[in-house]
Every structure is written in C-alpha cells, then in structure tokens.
Amino acid sequence: MILEQLPAFTNGTEPGDLPGPLLTELTALYASNHEFFALSGDFPDAHDIRAEQVATALADELAQPSAEVLLGRSEGRLVGVVVTLTRHPDPADPDPWIALLLVDAQVHRTGIGKKLAAAIEQRFRTAGHTGVRLAVLDNNPKGLAFWTTLGYEVIDHRKDLELGRPCAVLRKPL
C-alpha cells in the first residue's frame, strides 16, 4: 500500500485543475460507494456521481486549512482516499481527525481499509499526536462496526458541522 498526497489543488488551484486521468479514477472510486453516499446525502444522486461533483467535493474538503487528501494505491491502482484534518475547526478539540476514509467497493472486505487506517494513524503518531478522532453517521452501522473493530471508542454524539447530521464521535489513543 502506497499513500500519496493528492497532487492537485495546491496553491489555490481550482477543481477543474485536477488531472483528467486522476479525476476519472477518483470518480470511479466515489461512484463505487453509492451505498455510503446514499446514507450521507453528499451527492444529489448516489447512483450518478459525476467527475465535476467529485472535484468540487475534494476542493471543499481542502478548503479547511489543515486538510490533506491522501490517495491509497495498491499495485498502481487507486483503492482508497483518505481526508485528514490536522486540526479540527473546534479549537477545543486537541486531536487530528480522519474526515473521510473511502475504499473502492470492489475491494471492500479485503483489508485495504484497515491498512489505510493504520497508515494514517502512524502518520499522526509520527507527528507527535496522542489520539485521533472521527465521526460516523448514526445511520451507518457498517461504518461504526468497522471503526470499533479497529479500536475506536464512541466518546460523544453530536451533529456534524457541515450538514447537521447526527453522528457518533469516536476516538482512538495513539
């Protein structure tokens, strides 16, 4: 598994500046996860996710000052995307966050998600952080089961900052 930083959107570039072949890969990965996006409501039609929507979603993620988008590749193929926040918008929150971990649906249940999570945890640990947080939508029991299996514990319930959706907040000590 190789993690690489998203090569576009640096120095204020626009969503259309994402290289075409990469945007095609990213769109296919997002579109493969229509079950998740039907739960989240992040796209108007979870069964018709388009390249321009993915580019805009990534640009919106990177609008956060401490956000980073990482691409997970296995044997040269894009198999996952991880969005992290070194600092949460709430100044009282001391931990970095995993804002999104998305694995190509064709490789669900193969350990890719676990490997991506471990790689992100190691990055945060190396940077000196002592814990990591994330939120799981209350209507996503599969997501909650995945994260709790990896040792994350529910520490709070609140609405997400973006759309006000009810979520469980989880934390894992590093």
Query: Rounded to 10 degrees, what is the CA torsion of 74, 69, 120, 129?
Result: 160
Nearest to 57 by CA among 83, 88, 80, 33: 83
**What is the chain's pLDDT, residue by residue, as a tens digit (174 residues)?**
899 998 755 444 454 577 889 999 999 999 999 999 999 999 999 999 999 999 999 988 888 889 999 999 999 999 999 999 998 878 888 999 999 999 999 999 999 999 999 999 999 999 999 999 999 999 999 999 999 999 999 999 999 988 899 999 999 999
What is the count of structural domains for the chain?
Answer: 1
pTM, two decimal places: 0.91
Q: The CATH number of the domain where 15 resides is what?
A: 3.40.630.30
Cα distances (angstroms) measured from residue 102 to each of 11, 13, 31, 58, 79: 25, 23, 11, 12, 8
d(CA 48, CA 41) in angstroms, rounded, equals 12
Nearest to 82 by CA among 56, 53, 38, 112: 112
* Domain, as residue range, for 149: 2-173
